[in-house]
């Protein structure tokens, strides 16, 4: 259940790397017991935000209160009360599942008896008890992710940070992980803040979602309120090189609530979209524009993101490929 107190309160938080404003003056609050999502494309600043909130890097300016303590003044108090699941895998390959968790529990000074109980409990939650004596190097990607979630829960954190919890996993494993997250949130009222660039993940899991783009918070609300803002249906018109011209022509009609352009597609927000399709085709014809295809759907969070930022979340941002290279290098570097 969502409480009335804030588990996280972010105040004008920024992180600059040289000239780059990776996180640019963001403020938001997360209530106790909430599942809150930071949704944005590659390089938006999600991980950097999480790193500051979990005290791993200091902010350039601004601050935040996490689980009752300031991230700059009371780092140790914050760390005791949070769990973190990193974007990049961070398990010890040469240890078994159980040993990885035990090592973590010892770091948190959890006594032998409690530790054994707790490890069993979290392994049961992520359905890995039967794999407890298997070395991590023999785990699948999905099993590793589940074990990392289990590890993040051992010391009973009141706030759990998950950075891209299901990136690269198959749909079935992804759904399982969503279920664990919902379960632990329901069982212990653990506040969850997660980052993702999967629209469905944010939609399914999060009570509220913040859109992040270029270090800025561009919108924040419940998924359904965000979608309602678009009003009605989304009609997507494919008009190739003429998309820009078609978009302009559409903007002249007040019954079209919003026009956004991406990938040579013109998205139109309209009430009763199915009945308006003939009118849309007519406008195109009158402007001498040939339509490649036309389709209609209810607005998704993706449409809302396009509405606010003018681009699809899955589109690679400018630094996208560099980001991939950076991560590839980081991974191979670690294996050496």
Ligand X SMILES: Nc1ncnc2c1ncn2[C@@H]1O[C@H](COP(=O)(O)OP(=O)(O)OP(=O)(O)O)[C@@H](O)[C@H]1O
Q: Which residues bind Mg ion (CB under 5 A)?
A: 46-47, 87
**CA 154, 150, 90, 174 torsion: positive or negative?**
negative
When asked if residue 29 is in the footprint of ligand X (CB under 6 A), the reply is no
- Based on the number of CB atoms within 10 Å of its own CB, is 153 exposed (0-12), middle (13-18) or buried (19 or more)? buried
Q: Is 67 left (phi over 0), alpha (psi -120 to 50) or beta?
A: left
When asked if residue 207 is in the footprint of ligand X (CB under 6 A), the reply is no
d(CA 228, CA 298): 10
Which window, 45-53, 75-83, 97-105, 328-336, contacts ligand X (CB under 6 A)?
45-53
Taking the complex as a whole, the smallest distance from the CB of residue 46 to Mg ion amounts, in Å, to 5
Answer for which of 46, 115, 118, 208 binds ligand X (CB under 6 A) is 46
Taking the complex as a whole, the smallest distance from the CB of residue 49 to ligand X amounts, in Å, to 7
Answer for which of 14, 47, 55, 166 binds ligand X (CB under 6 A) is 47
Which window, 17-25, 141-149, 154-162, 277-285, contacts ligand X (CB under 6 A)?
17-25
Taking the complex as a whole, the smallest distance from the CB of residue 212 to ligand X amounts, in Å, to 7
Q: Are strands 69-70 and 265-270 parallel, antiparallel or unpaired?
A: unpaired
H helices of the chain, in order, are 46-53, 75-81, 97-107, 112-125, 141-153, 171-188, 199-205, 223-230, 243-251, 273-286, 301-309, 320-335
The 10 Å Cβ neighbour count of residue 120 is: 14
Q: Six-digit token pair at 60?
A: 């350039």
Task: Output the CA angle 42-175-218, nearest 5 degrees.
Answer: 35
* Binding partner at 72 among Mg ion, ligand X, none, C-beta below 5 to 8 Å by kind: none
Taking the complex as a whole, the smallest distance from the CB of residue 7 to ligand X amounts, in Å, to 21
Q: For residue 199, give Cα distances in angstroms to 85, 270, 271.
A: 20, 22, 23
Answer for which of 77, 93, 179, 319 binds ligand X (CB under 6 A) is 319
Taking the complex as a whole, the smallest distance from the CB of residue 163 to Mg ion amounts, in Å, to 6
Answer for which of 6, 14, 48, 166 binds ligand X (CB under 6 A) is 48
* Binding partner at 40 among ligand X, Mg ion, none, C-beta below 5 to 8 Å by kind: ligand X
The nearer residue to ligand X, 43 or 299, going by C-beta atoms, is 43
Answer for which of 70, 189, 207, 323 binds ligand X (CB under 6 A) is 323
* Binding partner at 45 among ligand X, Mg ion, none, C-beta below 5 to 8 Å by kind: ligand X
Please list, in sequence order, all residues whose beta carbon lies within 8 angstroms of the beta carbon of residue 130, skipping any fewer than 6 positions away: none
Taking the complex as a whole, the smallest distance from the CB of residue 141 to ligand X amounts, in Å, to 17
Site for ligand X in 74-93 (CB under 6 A): 87
Site for ligand X in 183-202 (CB under 6 A): 197
DSSP state for residue 68 in the 8-state scheme: T
Size of the site for ligand X (CB under 6 A): 15
* Binding partner at 44 among ligand X, Mg ion, none, C-beta below 5 to 8 Å by kind: ligand X
When asked if residue 45 is in the footprint of ligand X (CB under 6 A), the reply is yes
The nearer residue to ligand X, 12 or 114, going by C-beta atoms, is 12
Instruction: Mark 200-236 as b/e (b = at least 16 C-beta within 10 Å).
Output: bbbbbbbbbbbbbbbbbbbbbeebeebbebbebbbbb
Q: Which residues bind ligand X (CB under 6 A)?
A: 17, 20, 22, 40, 42-48, 87, 197, 319, 323
């Amino acid at each position: 259940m969502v409480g009335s107190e804030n588990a996280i309160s972010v105040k004008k938080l920024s992180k600059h790397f040289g000239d780059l404003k990776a996180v640019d003056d963001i403020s938001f609050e997360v209530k106790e017991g909430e599942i809150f999502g930071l949704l944005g494309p590659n390089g938006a600043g999600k991980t950097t935000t999480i790193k500051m909130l979990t005290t791993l890097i200091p902010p350039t300016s601004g601050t935040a209160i996490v689980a009752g303590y300031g991230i700059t003044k009371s780092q140790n108090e914050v760390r005791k009360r949070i769990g973190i699941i990193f974007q990049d895998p961070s398990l010890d390959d040469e240890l078994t599942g159980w040993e990885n968790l035990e090592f973590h529990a010892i770091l948190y000074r959890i006594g032998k008896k409690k530790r054994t109980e707790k490890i069993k409990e979290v392994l049961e939650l992520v359905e890995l008890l039967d794999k407890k004596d298997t070395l991590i190097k023999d785990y699948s990607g999905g099993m590793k992710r589940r074990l990392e979630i289990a590890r993040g829960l051992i010391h009973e954190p009141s706030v759990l940070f998950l950075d891209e919890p299901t990136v690269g996993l198959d749909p079935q494993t992804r759904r399982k992980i969503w279920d664990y997250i919902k379960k632990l949130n329901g069982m212990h009222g653990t506040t969850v803040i997660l980052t993702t660039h999967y629209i469905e993940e944010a939609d399914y899991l999060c009570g509220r979602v913040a859109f992040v783009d270029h270090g800025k918070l561009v919108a924040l609300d419940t998924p359904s309120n965000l979608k309602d803002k678009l009003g009605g249906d989304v009609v997507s018109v494919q008009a190739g090189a003429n998309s820009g011209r078609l978009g302009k022509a559409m903007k002249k009609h007040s019954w079209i609530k919003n026009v956004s352009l991406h990938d040579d597609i013109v998205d139109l927000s309209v009430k009763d979209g199915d009945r308006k399709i003939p009118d849309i085709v007519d406008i195109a014809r009158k402007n001498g524009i040939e339509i490649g295809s036309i389709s209609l759907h209810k607005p998704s969070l993706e449409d809302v993101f396009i509405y606010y930022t003018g681009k699809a979340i899955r589109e690679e941002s400018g630094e996208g490929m560099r980001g991939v290279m950076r991560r590839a290098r980081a991974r191979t570097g670690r294996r050496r």
